[in-house]
């Protein structure tokens, strides 16, 4: 059965390019982003892992630990990482899980037989400090991920976890947000001292509360 939002992210132990990890223990109280790539020494994946490394500080500001996985072994990963640095200029500064037995790929339903019986699809899982899955995305092997979008989603997830708001279409950090229906009109002044705009009776907006 595929994983759904709100499910506990499966725990596992694995060897990585930065040593052996117990996943939940490695996450600790941080947010996590687990993402898969179909194979080492492939062009799209090379650009993706380099981009992820380049964004290390942005993930760090958000208390997000990043970890990649593919069904290749540790030796293959270690031979590939110099290519990533050569192509993108970024040293790979996060762990890549070796998953030759497809243990992690199976736990996270990353093998889609209609796409490939051997390689993982290009999946992303954002996991909260409570170890629950907050976001899932799946891309075809031909399409590289937009990591600015992943950071935008993480910003939204963290904001909406702390305040009773939602983010509208195309929201960016600093834009107005939507007050959730759970907040009554009588509670607005206390909860949102910056003010609330009534666009419709069911659509109320307010400046981003943590700015």
CB atoms within 10 A of CB 156: 20
Known catalytic residue at 45: yes
Report in angstroms the alpha-carbon separations of 161 from 28, 89, 99, 197: 18, 35, 32, 22
Among the listed residues 27, 33, 45, 96, the single catalytic one is 45
Question: Using CA atoms, how far apart are residues 53 and 207, in angstroms rounded to an integer?
Answer: 32
- The residues with which 34 forms a beta bridge, in sequence order, are 67, 125
HSE, side-chain direction, 13 A CA sphere, residue 178: 15
Which sign, positive or negative, has the C-alpha torsion 63, 161, 27, 134?
negative
Q: Is 61 exposed, middle or buried (0-12, 13-18, 19+ CB in 10 A)?
A: exposed
> Is-contact 23 13, C-beta < 8 A?
yes
Query: So which residues are the catalytic ones?
Result: 45
């Amino acid at each position: 059965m595929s994983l759904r939002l709100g499910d506990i992210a499966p725990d596992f132990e694995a060897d990585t390019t930065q040593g052996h990890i117990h996943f939940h223990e490695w996450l600790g109280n941080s947010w996590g982003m687990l993402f898969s790539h179909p194979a080492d020494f492939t062009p799209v994946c090379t650009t993706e892992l380099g981009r992820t490394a380049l964004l290390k500080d942005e993930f760090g500001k958000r208390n997000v630990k990043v970890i990649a996985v593919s069904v290749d072994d540790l030796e293959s990963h270690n031979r590939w990482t110099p290519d990533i640095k050569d192509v993108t200029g970024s040293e790979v500064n996060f762990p890549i899980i070796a998953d030759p037995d497809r243990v992690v790929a199976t736990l996270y339903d990353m093998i889609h037989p209609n796409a490939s019986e051997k390689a993982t699809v290009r999946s992303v899982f954002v996991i909260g400090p409570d170890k629950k899955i907050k976001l899932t995305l799946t891309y075809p092997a031909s399409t590289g991920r937009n990591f600015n979008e992943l950071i935008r989603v993480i910003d939204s997830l963290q904001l909406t976890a702390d305040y009773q708001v939602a983010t509208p279409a195309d929201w960016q950090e600093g834009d107005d947000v939507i007050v959730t229906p759970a907040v009554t009109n009588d509670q607005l002044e206390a909860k949102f001292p910056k003010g609330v705009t009534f666009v419709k009776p069911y659509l109320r907006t307010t400046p981003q509360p943590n700015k």
